Amino acid sequence: MNNKSIGVFDSGLGGLTAVKQIMQELPNENIIYFGDTGRVPYGTRSRDTILKYTRGDIRFLRTFDVKVIVIACGTASSAALPMIKDEFDVPIVGVIDAAVYAAVRATKNKKIGVIGTSGTIKSGEYEKQINEYDSGMQVFSKACPMFVPLVENGYFDAEVTRLIVEEYLEGIRAEGVDTLILGCTHYPLLEKVISEYMGDGVTLINSGAEVAKYLKKKLDDELAHSDKIDKCQYRYYVSDDISSFEELGSIFLEREINGQVNKIDIEKY
Ligand code: DGL
């Protein structure tokens, strides 16, 4: 038994798609979430900046004595985690390993598409890890930088979203992939439109859902679960305006979070 909380962070709201899955998969765990809303997006930044932000985010969550930290951000998981994973004395879990594991099992024709932010695609981390499983896999990657602002502004199922989905995914669809990794935690909010465009024959891999399953296994095998408690504590921290996070965050999580969000100065960490 281990009653410490699970720490989760993302550059903004996107990581809440992973939190929603963690709440379902692990209903007895307390969760502390940090959304770096003052510095979002990470996906267009240099690797040095992503490293600096990621280290600060981890240092902030460390102040809570958490049992594990989940990087619910595709960009920080791919462009920073491989370099910093041994710097901290707390287990850190990213979204890449779990999504790759699910994708290599899902594909039948060994053609996998990967979409993410520019930082994620530039890192080449998905291709690297997929090819470590099976060098015969073909990987087709595409950076989709407009998806994050669409999601952050609530354009989940709009005409403009359909047009941009077509613009970005036309090439990947034409390659005949049968599996598509949504390599950014914002993208599950666009799942409906992406799925309609890609067609029924393409399995979408939600990195947030996969990391939740991976985390459950990690608690089973190594870190231990919390005691069964009546009501879990969920706390949310942001580095910018609280009210917009509360409003959209409640939609992302499909639960009310008004009054549970605090603002911090992340530059101190
Ligand atoms: N949620 C972040 C990710 O998974 C994307 C947002 C950003 O660019 O910061 O990469």
pLDDT one-digit tens code per residue, 236-259:
999 999 998 999 899 889 889 999
Q: Quick check: is 144 catalytic? A: no
Ligand 1 atom 7: the closest Cα is on which residue?
41
The CA–CA distances, whole Å, from 251 to 21, 167, 248, 255 equal: 14, 26, 5, 7
Q: What's the predicted TM-score (pTM) here? A: 0.92
How is the chain split among helix, strand and coil, in percent rounded to 5?
A: 50, 15, 35
**Annotated catalytic, 232?**
no
Give ligand 1 pocket residues (Cβ under 6 A): 10-12, 14, 40-43, 73-75, 117, 120, 148, 184-186
Among the listed residues 50, 61, 73, 130, the single catalytic one is: 73
Q: For residue 16, name the pLDDT band (cuts at 50, 70, 90).
A: very high
Q: What integer pLDDT is reported at residue 229 of this predicted model?
A: 67
Better-scored residue on pLDDT, 227 or 56: 56
Q: 181 Cβ partners below 8 Å, 6+ apart?
A: 99, 100, 103, 112, 113, 114, 115, 116, 126, 205, 207
Dist. CA 136 → ligand 1 center (Å) = 29
